[in-house]
Amino acid sequence: MNDQANGQANGQANGLANGLANGLANGLVTQAVLWVVGMCDGGEVVSFRLEHGELPDVGLRVRGWALLRTRDVVAQATPHMMRLVYDVEEAPGIPSPTEKTRRDPGLVIVPGEVALRHQRLAAYAVVTSERGVLLSRFSTSTNAPGTWGLCGGGVDPGELPEETVHREVWEESGQQIEITGLATITSSHWIGRAPSGRLEDFHAVRLAYDATCREPTDPVVHDVGGTTEHSEWVRLERVASLPLVSSWRDVLPALLRR
């Protein structure tokens, strides 16, 4: 291992060792430690820890690289870490975009109120079968009741994202699936209120996997009282007519057109 690679490895090890402790000290809710890795011409050219509120494409641009496409997610349970791997190309001299953190429409912040920083890693599945694509409808315990999205949810501590996908799909629909590959990684950052009313500075990182279901059945929600009130096999031509949740509104149709 050369000096540069050794330094990157040591930096990642230190980040893993201190990640949870530092997060708690700074009022940050987090799960796995996330790293962004850029690949070019078959080799790793850039690597950095994804800090709260940092979007992968912006972080790469700041460091002189442009994101071309999602490549892979390399996960480990102990210590809990995810490497989000992208194909990149050099982008010298291109300024990084600067955007104000968006706020939920109509958000009212009480003087002196401080938002809790919450970085949430979640894993979802684009499940298809002879009956269509598997979608779930959000319940009244969420901020988006009545809207539709992919089955999935938060990655538990020490859990691999593929394990999350199998668990969540079963809890939300009762389907047995086979994961076939990584579909995409998306990320967003905003300030708003959790369903509990708590003010949050929220950073969402979403991993979406392609999956198939060989023996589709009528979906049954096992996690009664949770965030999913109903799941359904939806014919592809019907998806555009559904009220999709904002996090998948633009992404899902593109994924289904591949």
* Judgement on whether residues 51 and 147 belong to the same structural domain of the protein: no
At residue 59, the pLDDT reads 94
> How do 132-138 and 178-193 pair as beta strands?
unpaired
Rounded distance between C-alpha atoms, residue 75 and residue 126, angstroms: 19
How many domains does the chain divide into? 2
Final residue before a domain boundary, out of 90, 107, 131: 90
What is the pLDDT confidence band of residue 97, given thresholds at 50, 70 and 90? Answer: low
Task: Give the chain's end-to-end CA distance (angstroms, integer).
Answer: 39
Final residue before a domain boundary, out of 36, 57, 90: 90
Name the residue with tokens 């009244």: 140
* Judgement on whether residues 244 and 142 belong to the same structural domain of the protein: yes
* Judgement on whether residues 14 and 85 belong to the same structural domain of the protein: yes
Give the number of other Cβ atoms within 10 Å of residue 198's Cβ.
12
Rounded distance between C-alpha atoms, residue 169 and residue 141, angstroms: 18
* Judgement on whether residues 132 and 222 belong to the same structural domain of the protein: yes
* Judgement on whether residues 32 and 68 belong to the same structural domain of the protein: yes
Give the pLDDT mean for 223-244. Answer: 96
In a domain, 11, yes or no: yes
Rounded distance between C-alpha atoms, residue 182 and residue 194, angstroms: 28
Residue 90: what residue type?
E
Of residues 51 and 21, the one with the higher pLDDT is: 51
Q: Whole domain around residue 35: which residue ranges?
A: 3-90
Rounded distance between C-alpha atoms, residue 68 and residue 72, angstroms: 13
Rounded distance between C-alpha atoms, residue 173 and residue 12, angstroms: 37
In a domain, 36, yes or no: yes
pTM over 0.85: yes
Q: What is the CATH number of the domain that holds 233?
A: 3.90.79.10
* Judgement on whether residues 45 and 147 belong to the same structural domain of the protein: no
* Judgement on whether residues 151 and 204 belong to the same structural domain of the protein: yes
In a domain, 101, yes or no: no
pLDDT tens-digit readout, 141-181: 999 999 999 999 999 999 999 999 999 999 999 999 999 99
